[in-house]
Amino acid sequence: MTYTLLHHTGCSTSRKGLALLQENGIEPEVRKYMNAGEALSIDELKEIATKMGNASPREFLRDKDAKKFDIPPGMSDDDLFAAMVDNPKLIQRPIGIKDGKAVLGRPVEKLLDIT
């Protein structure tokens, strides 16, 4: 099955994650979710949360950007998913997806957990 990497080219950790996969012989399908044409939908974000084993988007929320966008700590998951669609900078990266599983690449070595 294809390995998909949710990737942001402007993020050094995301670039390191992509390089790590490639160094290990994995050529992922790269989805640059920050680009309008490759943006994630609410349903896709919910699917990622489920594949991470937890239905909460807080598993992959960028805390420092949450502060910039005034995301309150008690925001509901549905509202948080919607905020992530509106502001993809809120999505922590990189995220690897394969075979019904997803993992946040923090640290990047975790991306190898689903290969």
Q: Which tokens hold the place of 24?
A: 């290990």
Three-state secondary structure call for residue 53? coil
Q: Which of 1, 3, 4, 11 is catalytic?
A: 11
Return phi, psi of residue 98, to 5°: -165, 140
Burial class (CB in 10 A: 0-12, 13-18, 19+), 6: buried
Which amino acid is located at 65 in the chain? D
Integer Cα distance of 47 and 54 in angstroms: 10
Active site residue 25: no
Q: Which residues have a catalytic role annotated?
A: 11
